[in-house]
């Protein structure tokens, strides 16, 4: 067999593999699901951004970071719509098995953009924790601090993410026969596994930091209340509490979905194809990508529900704080004070009119 025949046989084997993987029922359903939830997540995230996040009464720093976080999730959903729309639609129109193999340039664009917008929301919560600790440390005058820390942290985190991705793919030639945008090129597999482990550690560490932050905030709030702090300090502490609880909910939900994906994909790559009984089911397991795209849709409902509950609790707390007792001796005294204040106001108005 000459070299040209060998190359032709190898290409036919790759095309056959692409055919078997693409039309595998589990793989097909996973591609449809990711395409479907991404198409729903795009308008949902836009609504959440413009109707909820932009109107949050939080400090400008954390608000700016939340806007960037959900906007990157929106861009990720857009990329998923195109990538997995390609996976879902193209098999209906191809006439040969080799047509299922993705062009290397198209794969490079789809894969790198997907990796970038998938990992930015994974690193962004680090900024949440840093900004919240700074806000807590400067609680007495943080409301007067201008919006600068948030944009700086966003730039640093995105630059860090781009640099990490570059280090993973700097030696990659993208010469493999690509079946799916989610599959990692073989040359960069080891570096990408290390990158995933790093992201998993970041997710867990950030969640623990958020829990510590709320504990520290609770103790500081008690101390400030004992010191009879000013109303502005109490307001700022309440704002820090509300925004920290919201970022904790976002981080925890993100950890559930993304953490599950990271653990699953690392486990699949660790056990290898022998565990799955062949290369086709092993490739199918690597190509199933549902958890993170589903998160892009679920987080909208979780965010709306959590903000609604926090607003309701804050409203009830304010009402219970300012409510004037109207029964018993205390109620009679409050009524007498109210009448006295009213007549004092009327008397002063009459005196001014006479003058």
> Which range (32-36, 100-104, 154-158, 237-241) has the least confidence?
237-241
**57 three-state secondary structure:** coil
Other beta carbons within 10 angstroms of residue 181's beta carbon come to: 25
* Residue scoring higher pLDDT (17 or 79): 79
Q: What is the pLDDT of residue 57?
A: 85
Mean pLDDT across 245-249: 87
Distance from C-alpha of 315 to C-alpha of 173, rounded to nearest angstrom: 58
The domain 3-323 is placed in CATH, from the list 2.40.50.140, 3.40.50.880, 3.30.2010.10, 1.20.1070.10, at: 1.20.1070.10
CB 64 within 8 A of CB 15: no
pLDDT at 185 over 70: yes
pLDDT on residue 337: 59
Taking the C-alpha atoms of residue 225 and residue 168, their distance in angstroms, rounded to an integer, is 50
Tell me the pTM.
0.82
The predicted pLDDT at position 18 comes to 86
39 has a pLDDT exceeding 70? yes
Predicted confidence (pLDDT) per residue in 119-142, tens digit: 999 999 899 989 988 888 887 777
312-336: string of b/e by CB count within 10 Å (b at 16+)? eeeeeeeeeeeeeeeeeeeeeeeee
CA-based R_g, the chain, Å: 28
The label of the residue with tokens 């490739």 reads 283
For the chain, the straight-line distance linking the first and the last C-alpha, in angstroms and rounded, comes to 117
Residue 291 has pLDDT above 50, yes or no: yes
Per-residue pLDDT, 83: 92
């Amino acid at each position: 067999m000459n070299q040209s025949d060998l190359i032709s046989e190898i290409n036919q084997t790759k095309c056959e593999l692409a055919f078997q993987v693409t039309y595998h029922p589990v793989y097909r359903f996973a591609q449809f699901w990711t395409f479907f939830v991404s198409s729903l997540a795009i308008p949902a995230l836009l609504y959440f951004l413009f109707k909820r996040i932009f109107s949050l009464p939080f400090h400008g720093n954390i608000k700016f970071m939340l806007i960037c976080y959900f906007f990157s999730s929106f861009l990720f959903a857009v990329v998923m719509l195109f990538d997995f729309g390609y996976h879902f639609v193209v098999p209906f129109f191809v006439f040969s098995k080799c047509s299922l193999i993705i062009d290397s340039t198209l794969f490079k664009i789809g894969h790198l953009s997907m990796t970038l917008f998938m990992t930015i929301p994974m690193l962004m919560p680090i900024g949440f924790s840093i900004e919240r600790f700074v806000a807590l440390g400067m609680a007495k005058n943080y409301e007067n601090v201008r919006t600068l820390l948030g944009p700086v942290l966003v730039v640093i985190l995105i630059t860090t993410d781009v640099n990490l991705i570059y280090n993973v793919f700097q030696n990659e030639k993208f010469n493999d026969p690509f079946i799916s945008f989610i599959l990692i090129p073989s040359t960069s597999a080891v570096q990408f596994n290390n990158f995933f482990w790093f992201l998993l550690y970041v997710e867990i560490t950030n969640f623990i930091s958020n829990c510590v932050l709320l504990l520290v905030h609770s103790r500081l709030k008690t101390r400030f209340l004992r010191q009879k702090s000013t109303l502005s300090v109490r307001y700022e502490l309440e704002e820090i509490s509300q925004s920290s609880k919201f970022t904790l909910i976002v981080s925890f939900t993100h950890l559930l979905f993304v953490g599950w994906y990271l653990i699953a994909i690392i486990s699949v790559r660790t056990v290898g194809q022998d565990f799955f009984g062949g290369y086709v089911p092993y490739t199918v397991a690597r190509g199933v990508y549902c958890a993170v795209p589903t998160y892009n849709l679920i987080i909208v409902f979780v965010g709306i529900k959590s903000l609604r509950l926090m607003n309701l609790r804050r409203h009830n707390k304010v009402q219970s704080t300012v409510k004037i007792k109207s029964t018993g001796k205390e109620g009679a005294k409050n009524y007498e004070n109210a009448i006295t204040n009213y007549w004092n106001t009327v008397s002063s108005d009459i005196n001014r009119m006479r003058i």
